[in-house]
Amino acid sequence: MPLKKIKAMLKEVIGLYPNSIGDASIERAIHHRMQALDIRSCGVKGEMEYLLRIQNDSKEFAELVEEVVVPETWFFRNIFPFEALASYLPGLKKKRPDDADSGLKILSLPCSTGEEPYSIAMVMMEKDLPIGKFSIDAIDISQRAIRKAKRGIYGQHSFREEYCGLRDKYFQRTLAGYVLAPEVKEKVKFSRANIIADNLDHYQQEYDVIFCRNLLIYFDRQTQACVLQKLHRMLKPKGILCVGHAEAAQVSKSHFLSLDISMAFAFSKIDNDIKAPFIARSASKKPFTENNKTLKKLESTFQSLIGLVEKDQKISNRLSRDKIFTQILDESHRRVKKKLPKARKESQENMQEKTPAGGAVALGKISGYLDLGRLNDAEILCESYLKNNPESTDAYYYLGLISHQKGSPGAAESLLKKALYLDPDHHLAIGLLALLAEERGDAGQAEDYRRRQKRAIKRNSSIDG
């Protein structure tokens, strides 16, 4: 009971949807903070003590948020949005003679430890934009992350992607790490804020572009819609919103227009005075008006007809899902079997299971358990495998598949989005997300995923060829 209330607090204050990172991750963070506070009571008693603590101590609640929010970012991560921004915005300013002399205003939210906003600054500077003609606001809920961002000193892990030699140009290598050049640091202003609780959209600060990548995936549909509404208000007319690849399907087409720039996941604000509410795409539409008696009679008749065929529909849908699930498993087997011959050979040479070779063998076992319907065994092996391989796309995909079969679509969707976060072209994960969308009646999103799956299959085929 205390754990449930703590999770509810996290959702209310920072919008965290527990299924997005998993109950186990949240509970680990809670118990870690309990140890830090030397709360020695065991079980529910100790958890209740911690609940009372965070209810009366905002600083400790902030520490819990720091424990839950683990930043994962690096410089020039998916460079396409940065390049699209640098090439698009100068033209946008020319279309606005009224504010042509004002600098470009850019927001990075969440900014994490600074890699994203600093990447934006460097790319903009490389595109020969006048040095005084743009500024960047960077906002995050983590004070710890902001302190690191302001220091501007980074380790090798922050440079997992190289771009035009900018690390050598704008960083000085020292014993402490890579130190960012002052001319880049001065372009970014950092501040702490909470997009859920704070009235950011009431600051009268309009932006030409907002980077909000890999934040929406941690919210439920209602919270996603609320955040998108705030971001819409914070953008200037025709301003640009960049989101993560796993979030593009959630952006309201009635309020944003896709720029159709490959791999940028960028949208332009539709400028209108209609104050229509943002509705999560999974929300159902009301088919009949309450004040129309004729239509209400038709609705009643329609519902009666549904009752007559409901049993047949359930049987048909179950058969269809089982057929699709079998197809997904078959494709999963084929994917893993491509890796197995070399893996088995290397395993015989006493390779440890945490190596890529051992990993392929473990994934093969998981696939085998799924084939036998041993979902619990497959899930346990997946969790064990992820401890040594935290960035395994296939492991997250299999966990999503297991959650779907266990009747937990929310958890399945979250896990599959994590797989896509690691590999945007994982067509099996995309296909299963399409199936989940169909099952909840969201035909529009399902179609978006189907189109994306076709593109992913095409790209994978060209690489394999």
The CATH number of whichever domain residue 217 belongs to comes to 3.40.50.150
Model's pTM, two decimal places? 0.59
Same domain for 388 and 241? no
Count of structural domains within the chain: 3
Same domain for 250 and 302? no
Same domain for 155 and 226? yes
Most confident listed range (59-73, 93-107, 333-347): 59-73
Range of the domain at 399: 293-464
User: Could you say which of 216, 236, 269 is where a domain stops?
Assistant: 269
pLDDT tier at 358 (50, 70, 90 boundaries)? Answer: low
pLDDT of residue 177: 92
The answer to whether 442 and 282 are in contact (CB under 8 A) is yes
The answer to whether 398 and 412 are in contact (CB under 8 A) is no
Q: Given strand 171-174, what is the order of strands in its sheet? A: 153-154, 177-180, 171-174
Higher pLDDT, 358 or 258: 258
pLDDT of residue 278: 53
pLDDT tier at 137 (50, 70, 90 boundaries)? Answer: very high
Which CATH number does the domain housing residue 387 bear? 1.25.40.10
Q: Which two tokens stand for residue 191?
A: 């501040």
Three-state DSSP state, 136: strand
Residue 250 has what DSSP assignment?
A: G
Q: How far is CA 328 from CA 311, 393, 453, in A?
A: 26, 16, 13
Same domain for 155 and 62? no
Question: What's the alpha-carbon Rg for the chain, to the nearest Å?
Answer: 24
Three-state DSSP state, 112: coil
Share of the chain above pLDDT 70, in %: 73
Same domain for 437 and 316? yes
Same domain for 263 and 302? no
Does the structure show a pLDDT above 80 at 236? yes
The mean predicted confidence, pLDDT, of the chain is: 76
The answer to whether 239 and 210 are in contact (CB under 8 A) is yes
pLDDT of residue 331: 58
Mean pLDDT of 412-430: 85
Same domain for 249 and 327? no
Residue 285 has what DSSP assignment?
A: P
| Nearest-10 crossing angle of helices 58-68, 43-56 | 120
Most confident listed range (4-13, 185-194, 328-337): 185-194
Same domain for 251 and 397? no
pLDDT tier at 413 (50, 70, 90 boundaries)? Answer: confident
Q: pLDDT for 434-455, tens place per residue? A: 888 887 777 778 888 888 888 8
Does the structure show a pLDDT above 80 at 94? no
Q: Cis (ω within 30 of 0) for the bond into 110?
A: yes
